[in-house]
């Protein structure tokens, strides 16, 4: 029988350097069932992501929202013999209603890249979508965990933070840019290179989610990657440019969708396992882009321990070798600029009343 392997196998194992005792947290009731909303559910990512989430044993209600018609997708998914009930909503006027009472909102709404574009080129098209979702979340489900897939992640997440701040509902523990695909790709490429199952590979990927801001910490790979300097640089570059590899291969028909849906589902599963964590549980570790003071940039992708309220603890930036230290030094100014653009956009959206 086909079963999805939710739980430990899908999410990042605790790496030895991350292994820490965490404070006991009160039980939030592992029996609680959850409402998860997907905004952009009719899209290239949204459809397979919704398919994967329909199989999640802890999702009681799966809400599909899109500006396009999602009725057919909901009807289709609702015939799958798993218990999640599928609801559907279309258009901006239905967004707040769709999100009402959601525990988790995951957002793959927005334009994807075409060959020749950078992720930053998507800002004009996608920023207003992020603002609309943040506004709706602030009234419909201010306590939800909010995971953005929409690019450019480095700028979209700071925009959303500004909108939520203006509504006095911003909780940095609950807002995430999904960078799981960078980890998934790193595990795959390293597994091939080392000659082990990709699932056995653990590697932190830090920084941001665009070109040079993506920093796979190869020196902390487990099992160790012991390629020579040339292999190391080539792998480093391939991971940074893996999104572009897909954009070029799709030749104008969008960017990564299936691997992103898999990665998005894995991230949602980790959020759910955090929500359902019982006192004494060790916690779920994922690399994700969120506000922190682990680096000089206000937002940074790094390993966090997830718990019932979202981020339970930010782990230190892993030990870096000389190449990685240089890469971090080079990415920080780029990331800061991306973040600053988001803060400015968000603040002006607030002033303009969007």
Ligand X SMILES: O=C(O)C[C@H](O)C(=O)O
Ligand Y SMILES: NC(=O)c1ccc[n+]([C@@H]2O[C@H](COP(=O)([O-])OP(=O)(O)OC[C@H]3O[C@@H](n4cnc5c(N)ncnc54)[C@H](O)[C@@H]3O)[C@@H](O)[C@H]2O)c1
Site of interaction with ligand X (CB under 6 A): 112-113, 119, 151, 181, 209, 243-244, 246-247, 255-256
> CB 112 → ligand X: shortest distance, Å?
6
Does residue 250 touch ligand Y according to CB under 6 A? Answer: no
**What are the tokens at 313?**
């603890």
How many CA atoms within 13 Å lie on the side-chain side of 117? 21
CB of 242 to ligand X, least distance (A): 6
Closest-approach residue to ligand X (CB): 243
Q: Which of residues 114 and 165 has its CB atom nearest to ligand X in the complex?
A: 114
Distance CA 174, CA 177 (A): 10
Q: How many CB atoms lie within 10 A of CB 227?
A: 15
Distance of closest approach, residue 179 Cβ to ligand X, in angstroms: 9
Q: Is 65 a catalytic residue?
A: no
CB closer to ligand Y out of 277 and 349 = 349
The entry of ligand X, ligand Y, none near residue 318 (CB within 5 to 8 angstroms by kind) is: none
Q: Are 294 and 206 in contact (CB under 8 A)?
A: no
Q: Give yes or no for a contact between 95 and 137, defined as CB atoms under 8 angstroms apart.
A: no
Q: Does 109 bind ligand Y (CB under 6 A)?
A: yes
Three-state secondary-structure class, residue 313: strand
Residue 150 lies near ligand Y (rule: CB under 6 A): yes
Please identify which of the residues 55, 209, 237, 314 carries the catalytic annotation: 209
User: What Å distances lie between residue 98 and 73, 131, 140, 165, 332, CA to CA?
Assistant: 15, 16, 8, 22, 37
> Where is 171: in which H helix or E strand?
none
Contacts of ligand Y in 110-139 (CB under 6 A): 110-113, 122, 126, 129, 132
Task: Provide the strand spans (E) within 55-114.
Answer: 59-66, 85-90, 104-107
Smallest distance, Å, CB 73 to ligand Y? 10
List interacting residues with ligand Y (CB under 6 A). Answer: 39-40, 42-46, 65-68, 108-113, 122, 126, 129, 132, 149-151, 153, 178, 181, 209, 254-257, 260
């Amino acid at each position: 029988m086909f079963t999805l392997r939710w739980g430990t196998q899908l999410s990042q194992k605790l790496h030895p350097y991350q292994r820490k005792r965490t404070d006991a947290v009160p039980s939030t009731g592992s029996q609680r069932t959850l409402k998860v909303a997907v905004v952009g559910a009719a899209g290239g990512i949204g459809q397979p992501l919704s398919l994967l989430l329909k199989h999640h044993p802890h999702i009681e209600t799966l809400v599909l929202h899109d500006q396009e018609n999602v009725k057919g997708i909901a009807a289709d998914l609702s015939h799958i013999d798993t218990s999640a009930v599928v609801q559907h909503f279309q258009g901006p006027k239905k967004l707040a209603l769709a999100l009402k009472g959601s525990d988790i909102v995951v957002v793959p709404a927005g334009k994807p890249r075409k060959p020749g574009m950078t992720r930053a080129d998507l800002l004009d098209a996608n920023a207003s979508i992020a603002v609309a979702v943040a506004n709706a979340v602030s009234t419909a489900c201010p306590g939800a965990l909010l995971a953005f897939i929409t690019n450019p992640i480095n700028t979209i997440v700071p925009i959303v933070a500004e909108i939520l701040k203006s509504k006095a509902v911003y909780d940095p523990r609950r807002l995430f840019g999904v960078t799981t695909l960078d980890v998934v790709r790193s595990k795959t490429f390293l597994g091939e290179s080392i000659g082990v199952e990709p699932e056995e590979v653990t590697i932190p990927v830090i920084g941001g989610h665009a070109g040079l801001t993506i920093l796979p910490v190869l020196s902390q790979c487990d099992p160790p990657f012991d390629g020579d300097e040339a292999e190391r640089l080539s792998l480093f570059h391939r991971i940074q440019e893996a999104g572009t590899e897909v954009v070029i291969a799709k030749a104008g028909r969008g960017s990564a969708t299936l691997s992103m849906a898999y990665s998005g589902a894995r991230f949602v599963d980790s959020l759910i396992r955090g929500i359902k964590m019982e006192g004494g549980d060790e916690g779920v570790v994922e690399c994700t882009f969120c506000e922190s003071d682990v680096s000089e940039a206000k937002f940074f992708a790094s390993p966090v321990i997830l718990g019932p309220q979202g981020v339970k603890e930010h782990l230190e930036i892993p030990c870096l070798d000389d190449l990685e230290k240089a890469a971090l030094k080079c990415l920080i100014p780029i990331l800061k600029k991306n973040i600053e653009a988001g803060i400015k956009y968000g603040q002006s959206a607030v002033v303009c009343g969007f």
